[in-house]
Structure 1
């Protein structure tokens, strides 16, 4: 997918993987105040992560305002990491979280990749899209120090 996704039954919402369309103020606004993860990042960090992403997908209301986001990091051949999935609270209840994950994982160049993610509270959302417990081969090395520490 490149550009926009048709939005049947979407309540006027549109998804797009066009990085030029992103509203970095909206992305930063959510990630720095609403997200329960990664608040240690500075705006410069977030902008660098978005700029360096393999793919981004934004969700937009009928008036064009950005109300959701996700990004992925990938080797471009067989592996991807899903990150920073969010929907602004006032726009939840329209399946936008599901649409963001589906668009990123199933409707793009990474549809056949092995995907991984880290979540503390959205297991049901991701399970609905095929994510499960790590297999016997998976291992995780936690980040060191305060920068990688999960919020209390």
Structure 2
């Protein structure tokens, strides 16, 4: 099922909006940020494009410039994995991270999911404010890590 496109307007910052329309995403800006991030260093532009095509994405814009992003990997029915959440440096400390995550949670697709997970090593304080809790159950979350996948 393909979701409808949603647009959210910031309640106080003029010309600040979030859209889920994939055609509005600035692939170059997203790739530039992600390739220098701690979690996706070296990721190819093609991989970023493919991940956006196959996910529910939230682009945060000030005027026409993309200043933030979040991606929900989902089956659109029961499960979602929130990832690639960021705000560019010059727009941090304006409470935009929280607004971005809250908009992700308000989307109609997200509202019907039974479980939404994320992985963070730097922003647990943010996610706790909007209802996320750490998984503290032994042998519950498992992973396969291939750290050199982008170094080809």
TM normalised by structure 1 equals 0.86
Deviation at 1:137, TM superposition (A): 7.8
Q: Structure 2: which 5+ runs fail to align?
A: none
Between the two proteins, the alignment pairs up a number of residues equal to 145
With over 3 angstroms needed to count, the CA separation of the structure-2 counterparts of 1:94 and 1:129, relative to structure 1, is: same
User: Corresponding residue for 2:78?
Assistant: 78
Deviation at 1:74, TM superposition (A): 0.9
Q: Is the 8 A contact 1:40 1:147 kept in 2?
A: no
Structure 2 SS opposite 1:110: helix
Q: Structure 1: which 5+ runs fail to align?
A: none
Q: Is the 8 A contact 2:9 2:16 kept in 1?
A: no
1:17 partnered with 2:20: yes
Pairwise CA RMSD: 1.9
Deviation at 1:135, TM superposition (A): 5.3
Structure 1 SS opposite 2:140: coil
TM normalised by structure 2 equals 0.86
2:49 alignment partner, one of 47, 56, 70: 47
For 1:17 and 1:26, the matched residues in 2 are separated by: 16
